[in-house]
């Protein structure tokens, strides 16, 4: 009986909560503005990792705070006009707003770069490799979500708006949409106005820029990057004239007939996922007989080897891939969206087309999903004759702990395809570009089955030891597969040249936690040494005996030993030089640029004197402008002969 009375009391109490009725349209708008300000402040805390310094920066620059809040205010007003419910407007608009703020916070923590419109084009590709358990969800984020829910429930229970006529709603919706369009064109498309706002930190850090100017404002400004415009001062005719000066009339004649001295060697180019010569870290030790790079270190003793400085850290594989295949330098591009997903939409010049013009059979192999970075379409636009993906690699005999196709099975598929080509077409050479995937992150911070390869160190926490050891375990399997591939090519009577390089360093925890645990100095915004430690990966070019003998008969010297440090956009140029290929005006031009600026990054440049600098001389800036115009023409305006 007492229980029934208590239930009735609770029910009656709930039903008789005193509601506050908003009796004027002006008060409705004022309440929506107040709610949007509260959500904007909450979002600022979330997106900037709860930085009072950043919030103070917004509050001392009212225009900046207004530009970050107005879009939310207008969306809330639009939803309210459609539904006549404060709580629906709050939940719908606020949920979407806070979700993108959370995404930005997570991406900054995990990838050290903000969430940008181009990430939406990647869809699952940008999130598929991140486990929910790896997201840095702390108490502050939980508090924000709880406060948001309390606010929404309170609006549902307490606030009741004044009913409005459909005519008023229709007129208000039209005015809201028109006002949004005017504001977007006046402010959010105006990048020069955006650039006037102060940056706390360095202008070279996209994270510092977004934190200082606000995520919503920055995101809307970046929408303009999806619409590609030519570089300032760009003229296609001038680029054509530049290319004409690099045409080489004295090219080596190719004759692929068996026994011919002018025969071209077969080429295999491999970009290895997160491949990093981790044994370069001072003081790192491995348990006996478990050296993770045993084969790699032996191979480079008989190869031409060096370091490339990539454009990405912990992800962004397609950036390094695009730079190698096209010679594009994404550090100086006038677009910020992912090149593969956003811009490659027509036949485009690439290494595949260069080799195809010399009679090569060209194949691309990526043992992952074909939609990953839109490779299925991009490889066709690049001119590859054949494209193979995970679905094609049906023979999988090597178990992996990552769930991805192993490098060993990938290389066995590659070798089988190579042999099939030799049987079908023993005359024409073979070019293969492979992107491996076995050691793709994330790397768990608990044991997953690898032996203890990394020596235990008291200064390294267990979770970071496990994270690093899991990466090193995958690296050792990469190395074993590489050793197998090289031995198979070594035995071949066919001349083969192998190019091998890493796409980026592995992501070893937020804020470089794994690297810091190993006392390895890294960072994108510190000194040049730390910068190079963050973005450098190894590369080598190796020839089997048959290829070396072929080069000797052709009067070419086979390069061995240490190769130059270059940015990844020049790797194809160095490789073509190694091969003695000199009939591409485009790559000849890049070779000339490389001689003056061998390393180009978003922050540092290496000049012809071998010095790293953040500032360029006038002639170097002109050279960089020339490069920017050249790559824009080659990617977007150059017409490919379809014959």
Residue 40 confidence (pLDDT): 87
The pLDDT value given to residue 133: 47
192-197 long-range contacts (CB < 8 A, ≥24 apart) are 194/218, 194/221, 197/61, 197/64
CB atoms within 10 A of CB 318: 25
pLDDT at 16: 56
DSSP bridge partners of 498 = 268, 542
So what's the pLDDT on residue 84?
A: 84
- Where does residue 18 rank: exposed (0-12), middle (13-18), buried (19+ CB within 10 A)? exposed
Q: What is the pLDDT of residues 565-574, one digit of tens each?
A: 999 999 999 9
β-pairing, 605-606 with 612-613?
antiparallel
Say yes or no to pLDDT of 510 above 70. Answer: yes
Distance (Å, rounded) from C-alpha 217 to C-alpha 197? 11
What is the structure's pLDDT at 1?
A: 47
> How many angstroms from the chain centroid is the CA of residue 208?
18
Query: pLDDT for 361-392, tens place per residue?
Result: 999 999 998 888 889 989 999 999 999 999 99
Q: Give burial (CB, 10 Å; 0-12/13-18/19+) of 423.
A: exposed
Q: Cβ atoms within 10 A of the Cβ of 561, count?
A: 11
Dist. CA 131–CA 601, nearest whole Å: 30
* pLDDT for the residue 150: 85
Position 211 confidence tier, pLDDT thresholds 50, 70, 90: confident
Res 245 pLDDT > 60: yes
Is it the case that residue 142 has pLDDT exceeding 60?
Answer: yes
Report whether CATH 3.60.150.10 matches the domain 236-637.
Answer: no
pLDDT at residue 212, as a whole number: 85
HSE-CB for 82 with a 13 A CA cutoff: 14
pLDDT greater than 50 at residue 129: no
Most confident of 85-99, 143-157, 404-418: 404-418
pTM above 0.85, yes or no: no
Residue 642 has pLDDT above 60, yes or no: no
pLDDT at 298 (0 to 100): 98
Share of the chain above pLDDT 70, in %: 88
- In tens, the pLDDT along 185-203 reads 889 988 889 988 888 776 6
Q: What is the pLDDT of residues 275-329, one digit of tens each?
A: 999 999 998 999 988 899 999 999 999 999 999 999 999 988 999 999 999 999 9
pLDDT at res. 132:
47
Residue with the larger pLDDT of the pair 6 and 561: 561
Give residue 520's pLDDT.
Answer: 94
Highest-pLDDT range among 12-26, 175-189, 336-350, 619-633: 619-633
Q: What angle do CA 107, 108, 113 make, to 5 degrees?
A: 90
Two structure tokens written together for 42: 């909450």
Q: Which residue has the higher pLDDT, 530 or 27?
A: 530
How far apart are the C-alpha atoms of 176 and 78, rounded to whole Å?
Answer: 7
What is the average pLDDT score of the chain?
87
Residue 125: per-residue pLDDT: 46
**pLDDT band for position 80 (50/70/90)?**
confident
For β-strands 599-600 and 566-567, DSSP reports them as unpaired
Helix (H, G, I), strand (E, B) or coil at 439: coil
The dihedral over CA atoms of 207, 209, 211, 213, expressed in degrees to the nearest 10, equals -160
Structure tokens at 246: 């690099």
In the three-class reduction of DSSP (H, G, I as helix; E, B as strand; rest coil), residue 499 is classed as strand
CA dihedral 432, 438, 442, 447 (to 10 degrees): -160
Give the mean pLDDT of 592-606: 96
Where are the CATH 3.40.720.10 domain residues in the chain? 236-637
Most confident by average pLDDT, 106-120, 166-180, 548-562: 548-562
Quote the pLDDT of residue 9: 46
Buried-exposed string 576-602: b where 16+ CB fall within 10 A, e elsewhere? bbbbebebbebbbbbbebbeebbbbbb
**pLDDT over threshold 70, residue 260:** no
Contact present, 223 and 117 (Cβ < 8 Å): yes
* pLDDT for position 168: 82
CA separation, residue 77 to residues 21, 28, 44, 137, 180 (Å): 18, 9, 20, 31, 11
Of residues 477 and 211, the one with the higher pLDDT is 477
- Token output for 18: 């005193």
Q: In the sheet where 612-613 sits, what is the strand order? A: 599-600, 605-606, 612-613
- pLDDT bucket at 256, cuts 50 / 70 / 90: low
């Amino acid at each position: 009986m007492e229980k029934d009375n208590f239930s009735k009391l609770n029910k009656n109490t709930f039903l008789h909560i005193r509601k506050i009725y908003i009796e004027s349209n002006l008060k409705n708008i004022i309440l929506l503005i107040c709610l949007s300000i509260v959500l904007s402040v909450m979002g600022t805390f979330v997106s900037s990792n709860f930085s009072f310094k950043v919030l103070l920066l917004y509050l001392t620059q009212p225009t900046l705070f207004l530009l970050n809040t107005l879009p939310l205010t207008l969306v809330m007003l639009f939803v309210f006009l459609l539904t006549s419910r404060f709580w629906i407007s709050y939940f719908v608009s606020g949920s979407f707003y806070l979700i993108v703020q959370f995404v930005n916070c997570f991406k900054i923590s995990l990838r050290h770069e903000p969430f940008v419109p181009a990430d939406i084009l990647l869809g699952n590709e940008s999130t598929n490799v991140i486990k929910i358990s790896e997201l840095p969800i702390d108490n502050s984020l939980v508090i924000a979500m709880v406060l948001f829910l309390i606010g929404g429930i309170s609006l549902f229970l307490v606030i009741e708006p004044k009913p409005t006529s459909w005519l008023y709603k229709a007129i208000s919706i039209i005015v809201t949409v028109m006002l949004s369009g005017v504001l977007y064109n006046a402010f959010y498309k105006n990048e020069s106005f955006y650039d006037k706002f102060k940056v706390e930190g360095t202008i070279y850090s996209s994270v510092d820029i977004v934190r200082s100017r606000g995520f919503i404002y920055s995101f809307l400004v970046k929408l303009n990057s999806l619409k590609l415009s030519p570089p300032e001062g760009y003229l296609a005719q001038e680029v054509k004239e530049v290319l004409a000066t690099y045409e080489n009339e004295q090219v080596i004649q190719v004759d692929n007939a068996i026994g011919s001295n002018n025969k071209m060697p077969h080429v295999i180019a491999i970009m290895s996922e997160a491949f990093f010569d981790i044994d370069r870290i001072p003081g790192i030790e491995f348990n006996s007989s478990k050296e993770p790079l045993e084969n790699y270190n032996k191979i480079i003793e008989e190869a031409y080897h060096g370091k490339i400085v990539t454009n990405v850290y912990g992800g962004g594989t397609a950036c390094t891939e695009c730079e190698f295949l096209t010679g594009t330098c994404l550090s100086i591009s006038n677009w910020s969206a992912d090149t593969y997903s956003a811009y490659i939409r027509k036949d485009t010049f690439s290494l595949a087309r260069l080799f195809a013009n010399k009679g090569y059979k060209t194949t691309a192999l990526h043992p992952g999903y074909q939609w990953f970075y839109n490779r299925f379409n991009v490889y066709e636009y690049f001119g590859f004759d054949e494209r193979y993906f995970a679905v094609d690699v049906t023979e999988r005999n090597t178990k992996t702990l990552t769930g991805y196709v192993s490098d060993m099975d990938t290389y066995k598929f590659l070798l089988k395809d190579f042999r099939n080509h030799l049987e079908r077409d023993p005359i024409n050479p073979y070019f293969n570009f492979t992107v491996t995937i076995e050691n793709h992150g994330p790397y768990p911070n608990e044991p997953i089955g690898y032996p203890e390869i990394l020596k235990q160190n008291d200064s390294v926490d267990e979770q970071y030891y496990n994270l690093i050891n899991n990466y090193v375990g995958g690296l050792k399997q990469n190395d074993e597969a590489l050793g197998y591939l090289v031995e198979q090519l070594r035995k071949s009577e066919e001349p083969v040249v192998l190019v091998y390089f890493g796409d980026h360093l592995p992501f070893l925890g937020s804020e470089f936690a794994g690297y810091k645990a190993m006392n390895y100095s890294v960072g994108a915004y510190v000194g040049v040494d730390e910068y190079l430690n963050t973005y450098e990966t190894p590369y080598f070019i190796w020839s089997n005996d048959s290829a070396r003998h072929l080069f000797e008969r052709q009067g070419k010297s086979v390069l061995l030993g240490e190769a130059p440090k270059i940015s990844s956009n020049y790797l194809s140029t160095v490789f073509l030089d190694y091969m003695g290929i000199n009939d591409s005006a485009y790559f000849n031009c890049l070779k000339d640029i490389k001689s003056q600026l061998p390393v180009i990054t978003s922050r540092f440049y290496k000049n012809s004197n071998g010095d790293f600098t953040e500032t360029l001389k006038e002639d170097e800036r002109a050279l960089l402008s020339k490069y920017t115009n050249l790559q824009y023409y080659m990617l977007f305006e150059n017409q490919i002969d379809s014959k």
